[in-house]
């Protein structure tokens, strides 16, 4: 156990001299991101009890001090923080699997008539349509069980596949509904009103000691093996619980974003992680568009041939793409 004075001294050893507010709950230090040239400005607020961080200038936020210490401190300082000063509000397993109890909001619930697809009667035409959609995506009965896919008659969720997500303790933390009809003009994906940065989709299935695949959507993740997390988009934010947990576990990453993100978000996300010394390889899915269009074997083969993308590789790929586009225009002109 440590005293508050010891913890504050440790924080100062990383960020420089700080100032404790009169409420004894917030400690202000300079922000190494935006105030690195001006040590007199102390705009990075650290909540002493749970280590939530917020910079009032650049807007940086994090659930723990881990990202900042990993990037701007030493290895010894990061290890000391993780092993000694990590707050009780962040409980760690033997693999340093983060379960953040400080960001719990009202209990999340699935639609009241949610039914597991595997248990729903196929007499229902909506259920038959859901199974047809699953088969078209080359998913199996095992996949339906493993991902706990479901359906509902609620008007908002009707004729959608519902994909629930569970945290490290097995509690529901999110869910997504995807339309199954080609001519459905409704929004393709819907989800509950919950901050996505505070959750890790299906964290219950993640082994942080093994390489983790990051993809865009839940249906993409069903083709990417068992150790995978969908970003529910294409951006990996440094403020997210997922980013923080990757750093705490020093988990290596396989980036498998959609093909149209190869030169943009995939590279951007990889650079964010590499700035914190995280090992990142790129899975090239451009031939198929996205992992969801691939078979599991095709993705496994692509993963085996994945490699770290250097700056030179990225430039070379862009030149090849530009050359192919130019040739295509020339052929059409002829």
* Percent of the chain at pLDDT exceeding 90: 53
Output the DSSP codes for 230-259: E-SSS---TTSHHHHHHHHHT--EEE---G
Asked whether residue 25 is assigned to any structural domain, the reply reads yes
| Whole-number pLDDT of residue 224 | 97
Asked whether residue 288 is assigned to any structural domain, the reply reads yes
184 and 283 housed in the same domain: no
Q: Which of 168, 193, 218 is the last residue of a domain?
A: 193
SS3 assignment, position 67: helix
Asked whether residue 322 is assigned to any structural domain, the reply reads no
Which segment of 17-31, 87-101, 173-187, 224-238 scores lowest on mean pLDDT? 87-101
Asked whether residue 110 is assigned to any structural domain, the reply reads no
| Whole-number pLDDT of residue 91 | 44
The pTM of this model reads 0.72
| Whole-number pLDDT of residue 276 | 86
| Whole-number pLDDT of residue 36 | 54
pLDDT tens track for 104-157: 445 799 999 999 999 999 999 999 999 999 999 999 999 999 999 999 999 999
220 and 185 housed in the same domain: no
Asked whether residue 292 is assigned to any structural domain, the reply reads yes
How many domains does the chain fold into? 3
Instruction: Give the rounded distance of the alpha carbon of 276 from its chain centre.
Output: 16
Work out the number of other CB atoms within 10 angstroms of the CB of residue 5: 9
CA angle 196, 198, 199 (to 5 degrees): 70
Q: How many whole angstroms separate alpha carbon 77 and alpha carbon 98?
A: 19
| Whole-number pLDDT of residue 101 | 37
User: Average of pLDDT values for 173-196?
Assistant: 93
Asked if pLDDT for residue 243 goes beyond 70, the answer is yes
| Residue 40's pLDDT band (cuts 50, 70, 90) | low
Asked whether residue 255 is assigned to any structural domain, the reply reads yes
Q: Which of 159, 193, 227 is the last residue of a domain?
A: 193
17 and 58 housed in the same domain: yes
Q: Which residues contact 157 (CB under 8 A, 6 or more apart)?
A: 111, 151, 177, 190
| Whole-number pLDDT of residue 4 | 86
| Domain range for 269 | 198-317
Asked whether residue 100 is assigned to any structural domain, the reply reads no
312 and 246 housed in the same domain: yes
Tell me what the pLDDT averaged over the chain comes to: 85
Where does residue 122 fall: left (phi above 0), alpha (psi -120 to 50 degrees), or beta otherwise? alpha
Q: What is the CATH number of the domain that holds 204?
A: 3.40.1360.10
> Which residues in 230-253 are b (16+ Cβ under 10 Å) and which e?
bbbebebbbbbbbbbbbbbbebeb
Which among 216, 206, 203, 143 is positioned nearest to 173, based on CA atoms?
203
| Whole-number pLDDT of residue 22 | 83
| Whole-number pLDDT of residue 103 | 39
User: Average of pLDDT values for 217-226?
Assistant: 96
237 and 154 housed in the same domain: no
User: Average of pLDDT values for 85-94?
Assistant: 56
| Residue 334's pLDDT band (cuts 50, 70, 90) | very low
- Strands 228-230 and 212-215 come out as parallel
| Whole-number pLDDT of residue 136 | 96
| Whole-number pLDDT of residue 329 | 47
Query: How would you class 112 by CB atoms within 10 Å of its CB: exposed for 0-12, middle for 13-18, buried for 19 or more?
Result: exposed
Asked whether residue 124 is assigned to any structural domain, the reply reads yes
205 and 281 housed in the same domain: yes
Which segment of 68-82, 86-100, 131-145 scores lowest on mean pLDDT? 86-100
According to DSSP, residue 84 is labeled I
311 and 203 housed in the same domain: yes
174 and 261 housed in the same domain: no
Q: What is the CATH number of the domain that holds 130?
A: 3.90.980.10
Asked if pLDDT for residue 320 goes beyond 60, the answer is no
Between 64 and 321, residue with greater pLDDT = 64
258 and 306 housed in the same domain: yes
72 and 175 housed in the same domain: no
Which segment of 58-72, 276-290, 302-316 scores lowest on mean pLDDT? 302-316
188 and 279 housed in the same domain: no
> Which residues in 130-155 are b (16+ Cβ under 10 Å) and which e?
bbebbeebebeeebbeebbbbbbeee
Asked if pLDDT for residue 54 goes beyond 70, the answer is yes
User: Average of pLDDT values for 53-76?
Assistant: 84
Where does residue 26 fall: left (phi above 0), alpha (psi -120 to 50 degrees), or beta otherwise? beta
Are 231 and 214 within 8 A, CB to CB?
Answer: yes
Q: Where are the alpha helices (DSSP H) in the chain?
A: 4-15, 66-72, 75-80, 125-136, 141-146, 218-221, 241-249, 265-274, 296-304, 311-333
Q: Could you tell me the end-to-end alpha-carbon distance of the chain, in angstroms, rounded to an integer?
A: 77
| Whole-number pLDDT of residue 89 | 55
147 and 189 housed in the same domain: yes
Asked if pLDDT for residue 327 goes beyond 90, the answer is no
Are 278 and 70 within 8 A, CB to CB?
Answer: no
Asked if pLDDT for residue 330 goes beyond 90, the answer is no
């Amino acid at each position: 156990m440590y005293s508050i004075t010891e913890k504050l001294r440790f924080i100062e050893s990383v960020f420089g001299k700080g100032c404790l507010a009169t409420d004894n709950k917030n400690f202000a230090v300079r922000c190494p991101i935006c105030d690195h040239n001006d040590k007199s400005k102390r705009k990075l607020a650290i909540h002493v009890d749970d280590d939530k961080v917020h910079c009032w200038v650049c807007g940086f936020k994090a659930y723990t001090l881990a990202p900042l210490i990993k990037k701007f401190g030493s290895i010894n300082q990061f290890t000391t923080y993780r092993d000694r000063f990590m707050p009780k509000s962040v409980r760690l397993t033997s693999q340093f699997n983060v379960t953040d109890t400080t960001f719990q909001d009202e209990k999340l619930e699935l639609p009241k008539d949610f039914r597991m697809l595997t248990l729903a009667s196929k007499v229902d035409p909506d259920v038959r349509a859901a199974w047809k959609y699953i088969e078209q995506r080359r998913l199996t009965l095992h996949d339906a069980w493993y991902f706990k896919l479901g359906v509902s008659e609620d008007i908002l969720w009707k004729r959608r596949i519902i994909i629930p997500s569970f945290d490290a303790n097995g509690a529901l933390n999110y869910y997504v509904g995807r339309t199954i009809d080609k001519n459905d003009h409704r929004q393709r994906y819907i989800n509950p009103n919950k901050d996505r940065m505070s959750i890790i989709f299906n964290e219950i299935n993640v082994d942080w000691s093994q390489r983790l695949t990051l993809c865009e959507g839940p249906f993409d993740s069903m083709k990417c093996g068992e150790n995978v997390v969908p970003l529910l988009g294409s951006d990996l934010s440094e403020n997210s619980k997922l980013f923080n947990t990757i750093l705490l576990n020093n988990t290596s990453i396989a980036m498998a974003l959609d093909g149209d993100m190869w030169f943009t978000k995939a590279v951007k996300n990889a650079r964010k992680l590499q700035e914190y010394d995280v090992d990142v390889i790129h899975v090239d899915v451009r031939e198929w568009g996205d992992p969801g269009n691939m078979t599991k074997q095709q993705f496994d083969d692509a993963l085996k041939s994945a490699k770290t993308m250097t700056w030179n590789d990225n430039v070379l790929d862009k030149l090849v793409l530009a050359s192919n586009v130019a040739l295509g225009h020339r052929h059409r002109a002829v």
